[in-house]
Chains A and B, each alone.
Chain A
Amino acid sequence: MTTALADLPAMPALLPAALDVAGLSLSRGEVRLIADLDLALAPGDALLLTGPNGTGKTTLLRALAGFVRPDRGAVTHEGEPADTIGWLGHADGLKPNETLRQALRFWAGLHGTPRHAILPLLRLLAIDALIDRPAGHLSRGQQRRAALARVALTGRPLWLLDEPAGPLDGAGRERLADLVGWHRGRGGIVIAATHQVLDWPGAKTLALRAAA
């Protein structure tokens, strides 16, 4: 695994990352999901959001990304959210008729990441042989891996991942752990909502509970 990591090309350095959450309260409809949450993450940190369905993991991630306006409290990023966040939602953001090469070239170009970073990342995620397949012909797990490669290609310091390991098999979860380790090693931050047990060294866990 470490050999695959060593093969990754030098990507442009990450912007400094830091996330500060103070007194955050979120609700969905009439239901208060999260009350007075405080959180501070520094470069290299990883945070796993766990908890049963409907406890607000996705809503919290969307609030951290700036999509959802909180009821109270504040999310402070180092820099603008639109310059710092690499987003992986529950949908992969792939187009069925677009090949991985077309899609990843587009996203890399949009974020100013050099194209030669694409293939090593796909190799790390073990989908390099699929690069000329349309996304619609891939399995769910392969699509998830492609979406993870897209997150890495944004070159953003703060990764927000919603169920990154959902459709992944055991080997896929190991590849994901490698990718996350690489990102944290560069000074990035990873926050992931998950139902799976993810063995990321030194990751903090925030267990969300059902609203009273």
Chain B
Amino acid sequence: MSGLASVFAREARLAWSGGGGPAGPAAFFLAAITLAPLAIGPAPEVLAAAGPGLMGFAALLSVLQSAERLYGDDFADGTLDLYALTPMGLPLLCLAKTLGQGLATLWPLPAIALAGGLMYGVPVQASLMLAAALLAAIPALVLLAGFAGALAAGVRRSGLLIALIAAPLMVPVLIFAAGAGRSGFEGDERALANLGLTAALSLGAIALTPFGIAAAVRSRLG
């Protein structure tokens, strides 16, 4: 267990010191939700209705945008070889590594989504629901991005491959997380159900994706 914690802490520290930490995804997310109203138009009721869905979508894109570094750097500098030979086993290590790096870089997204929701004219309660749904979605999103990132590690133009692999896998997460925000906005009782399903997807991803990531890493090392 202490091994897991040390991998988690190291990956979080490296993500923070190496690549500006949360700045990249946060800037991308902010840019997306600031630019979208310019394209959609200024009608307040349209913006408020589109807000929750748009935030969910923009959050997904900012996770994808940072996914290339999840396994690409470790592949290039030989760290993956060493990780494959650790005593704790590769699946557990991949889980700790992906979550450590993901949480260190993506933690601002729910807060920005909350502010963004208010900015779009979404009521406070629905904005809170949206932020909670994004928080619940982050483990699933980052683990799926990690799976795609591990499959594409060391491949040229891996960003393209990652988008093609991860985007379809992220569809259910997007539907439920954005759905929680939308239902919150429309004031119907499905918001909590959507939030619960988002959290369930994250738990499922925590249980299953480490094995997929580990298999992908092994295939890349061969």
Q: Taking beta carbons and an 8 Å cutoff, which residues of A are in contact with B?
A: 62, 65, 67-69, 81-83, 85, 87, 89-98, 102, 106-107, 109-112, 150
| Majority DSSP secondary structure for residues of A touching B | loop
Query: What residues on A are CB-neighbors of B14 within 8 Å?
Result: 95, 97-98
Pick out which of these stretches binds chain A: B2-10, B34-42, B47-55, B164-172: B2-10
Contact among B10, B17, B79, B218 for A93, CB-based, below 8 A: B79
Query: What residues on B are CB-neighbors of A82 within 8 Å?
Result: 84-87, 89
| Majority DSSP secondary structure for residues of B touching A | helix
Interface centre among B2, B78, B79 (most CB of A within 10 A): B78
Query: Could you show 8 A-B contacts with beta carbons less than 8 Å apart?
Result: A67-B81, A87-B85, A95-B14, A95-B77, A97-B14, A107-B82, A109-B2, A109-B3
Q: How large is the interface on B (under 10, 10 to 19, 20 to 34, 35 or more residues)?
A: 20 to 34
B84's closest neighbor in chain A, by CB? Answer: A67
- A110/B81 in contact, CB under 8 A: no
Q: Taking beta carbons and an 8 Å cutoff, which residues of B are in contact with A?
A: 2-3, 6-7, 10, 13-14, 17-18, 76-79, 81-82, 84-89, 218, 221-222
Interface centre among A62, A82, A85 (most CB of B within 10 A): A82
Contact among B13, B87, B222 for A67, CB-based, below 8 A: B222
Question: How far apart sit A91 and B221, CA to CA, in the bound complex (Å)?
Answer: 13
Query: What residues on A are CB-neighbors of B85 within 8 Å?
Result: 65, 81-82, 85, 87
- A111/B10 in contact, CB under 8 A: no
Question: How far apart sit A94 and B73, CA to CA, in the bound complex (Å)?
Answer: 11
